[in-house]
Amino acid sequence: MEETGTTITGTTAGDGANTILTGLGWRFQRTKNRWHLPGSTNTEPDHHRIEATQTALADDFALTTNLQQGHTTPGPATPQPTPPDPSLRQTQALQRKIEKQNRTINRLNRTLNSSHTVANHTMSIHTTPTGQRRARAEELLAAESARLVELEEELRELIDAGAVVVSAANISPGDRASVLGRWYVVEQVNRRTVTLAVSGGRRNKVEISHLDGHEPQEA
């Protein structure tokens, strides 16, 4: 019997899942046309990564989850859930909306500036929208850009009012970060993601906008 680990099926090219899943550490298996969570074979389900993925995909995709518990050697105790900070939940939700809005704007810009790359040279092709199609794309781009400005202003207002915000600027290796109420030690920080130390010596990469708690390490 095939040992699959944790997988996701049902995505299609261009549906937006690629950016989300890659950011959460999933890897696409082309030969099997599915996403796979590295290190998940012959281990208990990585609940915090699964829950983070569900949260990230919930706005745009209908999801069905089937969890089967395996039989593995017990590891360290799983960190117990703690209530997320209400204001941080608001700012993180807004940051996820801003990321989604940026993806939408980038997609519209690509539509308006279509090109084809061959042998390290960019060659224009005749797929750039013209006439009514171009006018509609430009109209959508203007509307989505205006919406992005609104979201960014809303985030600034929350921060000015004292809401908690987590970003790459205020997270450092050694800090503790929470995903869906479970706390982990931060091992690495990138512009948009953090790498967390998980039980059993595993490491998980999570988008910063999906953290719901942050505690700086004690001096």
The beta strands (E) that lie in the chain are given as 7-8, 27-29, 34-36, 116-118, 121-123, 176-179, 182-189, 193-197, 203-207, 213-215
Nearest-5° angle of CA 147, CA 148, CA 153?
100
Q: Tell me, what's the pLDDT at 79?
A: 46
Assign 52 a pLDDT band (cuts: 50, 70, 90).
confident
Q: Give percent of the chain with pLDDT exceeding 90.
A: 21
CA distances from residue 1 to 4, 160, 175 in whole angstroms, order as listed: 9, 56, 41
Average pLDDT over residues 59-80: 54
3-class state of residue 98 by DSSP: helix
For the cut 60, the answer to whether the pLDDT of residue 162 exceeds it is: yes
Would you tell me how many other CB atoms lie within 10 Å of the CB of residue 164?
19
Which has more confidence, 136 or 60? 136
Distance CA 43, CA 73 (A): 9
Which has more confidence, 197 or 72? 197
pLDDT in tens, 93-133: 898 899 899 999 999 998 888 654 445 555 444 455 567 88
Residue 121, token pair as written in the block: 């040279």
Distance CA 18, CA 183 (A): 26
pLDDT in tens, 174-206: 999 888 778 889 999 998 899 998 766 778 888
Q: Tell me, what's the pLDDT at 140?
A: 93
Q: Tell me, what's the pLDDT at 73?
A: 40
For the cut 50, the answer to whether the pLDDT of residue 71 exceeds it is: no
Decide: 212 and 179 in contact? Cβ < 8 Å: yes
Helices and strands: H and E segment counts in the chain: 4, 10
What's the whole-model pTM score? 0.52
Would you tell me how many other CB atoms lie within 10 Å of the CB of residue 213?
21
